[in-house]
Every structure is written in C-alpha cells, then in structure tokens.
Amino acid sequence: MASFFRFRPVLSRAVVTCGVCATVSVAAVGPAGADPMVPDPPAPPSKLSALSWEVMDARTGDVLAAKAPHRRLPPASTLKALFALTVLPKLRQDEVHRATYGDLSDVAPGSSLVGVDEGQRYTVADLWRGVFLSSGNDAVHTLAHMNGGVSRTVAQMQATARRIGAHDTQVRSPDGYDTRGQFSSAHDLALIAREGLRNHDFRRYMATKWARFPAAGGPRAFGIENTNRLLVGSHGVKPYPGLIGVKNGYTSKAGNTLISAATHEGRTVLVTVMNPRAGDFNAVYEESRALLDWGAQAAPLHAQQVAASRPPSAPQQLAAAAPAPAPATGPEAADTSSGLGRHLGAATGLLALAVLPVLLGRRLRRRRHQSGARRCLR
C-alpha cells in the first residue's frame, strides 16, 4: 500500500500530461485561423422622403438603421397601437356592450369611423376589429369608456409608454387624433409594436384583412376592410409578402404614418415611417416596402456580426491558451501553410498518448521490483 500512495502523484502527472496532449491534438486537427469575416449589410435605401424612419429587428430589439428616430412628430392613428397594447388585456373579448351616446359624444369631428351605432350591441372583439381594420375613433372611444373613461385610459397609455421605454411619446388622446402636445417618434412606435407582437390578440387583429361588423351579422351589419394598403393590396399598392401588420394613420397635421411588420425566413423586421414628403399618398407604403426589403437582407447579417463579436466559449478559450509552437522557417513554413504542419502536430500528440502508457508500465514494474528486493534483503 505504501508504494501505491508514493506512486499516485506520478499517475496524476501522467493524466494531466495526457490531457494536455489531447488538447494540443484536437487544436492541431481543428480548423486553423480566425472565423471568416461576416459581410457588412448593404447600405439602406437613400431616396426616402420621410421626416423620420427606423428599421428594427423584432426579436432582439436591435436598431438596424434609422433617420431621426427620436424626432417627436404627430403619430396620427399609429398611436392606436399603444391604445391596444394598454387596453387589450383589460377587457374580455367576448364581453357584449350596447353603445351609448356617452361613448360617442367626445369623438372629434372629422375622425375616421367604423360606424358604431348608439343602441347597437357589439362584442369587444367587434370593437377591436373596428380599431385595427377601419381605424375607427368611435370604436376607440367606446372601448375607452368601457375601460373607465378617456382620461383614465390616456393616463394608462402614458404609463405603458414609460414602462416599455417609449420616452419620446406624450399621450393626449386615445385615438391619435391631432391634439396639442401629443407626439411620438419612429423609435417609440417600433418599441410599441414590438411589445404588441407579444400579445396573441394584438397579432390576430393586426393581421385581419376583412371582417363583418358586427360579426354576429344582422340587418345592420356590413363588411369592413383593413385600411393598411400594404397588407391587403389596394389603391395601387401591391400587398407585401410576409406582412403581418401593424397600423397605418393619417391626419392633415401628421401626414401619413405607418408601422409595418414582416416575417422572412423566421425573422421579423419592424419598420416605422413618419410623414413622407414626396407628396404621393402611397409614398408611406412604398418607402416602407423599400425598408422592409432592406431589413430582410440586413437583419441576418447583423445577427451574424453580433454573434461573431461575442467572447469565445470555454473550449475555444482553452485552445487559445495552449502554448503556440515556434514559427517555422524555410521548407517547414511551406509545409505548415499547406496544412502538413497541422497533421504532424496531430500525429505527435497521438504518438505521445500511445507511448505514455508503455513508459508508465515500465516505471511501475521497476518500482515493484525494487520494493521486492528490499523485502528480500530484510
């Protein structure tokens, strides 16, 4: 037993040596050099007339490109995305409500309407379709009154904006209609839409193209179509492949505004465009289309660049910490550059692993022989 305990440190050193040899061998046969460079994303579209825009990766929240993303501008009906984000979780979708004069009394003249009638019964789901498809301010105010009133809803919307980091947003009305002191930004609207994508009902309503209002039918029911031309394809705008929403808007003060989300090969890109100056009413859709196309190319390249910039994993760090061989010169350098050096290194490591057990066995037998000789002498 005594000879075993005296010999155990030798075994430990042998195991460590084998581990080092194995590490060197694996490093030698593995790929040499740094990872290939990830190409830079293409330049974003340059001929855009919008006062402000932003492209965001919906999964990570990374901003891929932007122009004046924090410029505070009137949001028009894109602010309804914040209204939905705030109020959707508070009301049951199957709850039935009979519209009243009070629900509709504070709707601003000139507002976009879905056609909520006083005395008519609607489910909450009907009203949300009126918000998302027809951008109906009458549906917004009816839901706001069901939520405890316009003032309470506006305060809750402001709190939601602060909670998600939308610090450029100031809420004065629940529907986005032009109101003094009300503004948002391209970045904030992208944040709001990104948060909305987490809500199943939000995603369902924003992707709905057509519906009956109310859905239960009846003599006063009628069809409604989503006013987002990039989603349905109308008024000379082709539908965008992979588009899943989210909200468009227009007022004389805000101009045209649009939040768009499209999914391509499993990756969703968010685009916000505010107030194009080109003059064409469809400019907001075509400029959004150009940015969605660019984002579909740029998002995966950006993700690869982020991954390449991360610290190496533990096995990579161990391989990097191993002592580097002395640089070869002359013919040896040519062999190394051609890959022969790596194979020689691997062979050397494997040879060491094969020889070590033989040497270890010889030493063990020598120790046992010496120990037996000492016992005989005694």
Active site residues: 77, 80, 135
The count of other CB atoms within 10 Å of the CB of residue 278 is 15
Q: How far apart are the first and last CA of the chain?
A: 18
Axis-axis angle for helices 150-163, 137-146 (nearest 10): 90
Q: What is the CA radius of gyration of the chain?
A: 34
- CB distance 174 to 144 below 8 Å: yes
Q: How far from the centroid of its chain's Cα atoms is residue 351's Cα?
A: 50
Backbone angles phi, psi at 306, to 5 degrees: -65, -45
The CA-atom distances, in angstroms, between 30 and each of 225, 272, 314 are 58, 45, 16
Tell me how far apart the alpha carbons of residues 215 and 235 are, in angstroms, rounded to a whole number. Answer: 26
3-state secondary structure at position 70: coil
* Residues 6 or more apart whose Cβ sits within 8 Å of residue 95: 123, 124, 146
Using alpha carbons, select from 227, 237, 252 the residue that is nearest to residue 290: 237
State whether residue 335 is helix, strand or coil: helix
Contacts of 180 (CB under 8 A, 6+ apart): 172
The set of long-range contacts for 202-205, using a CB threshold of 8 Å and a minimum separation of 24, is 202/84, 202/85, 202/88, 203/244, 203/245, 205/84, 205/128, 205/129, 205/131, 205/132, 205/133
Query: Closest by alpha carbon to 183, among 192, 191, 193, 173?
Result: 173
Calpha distance 124→308 (Å, rounded): 47
Sign of CA dihedral 344, 350, 352, 355: negative
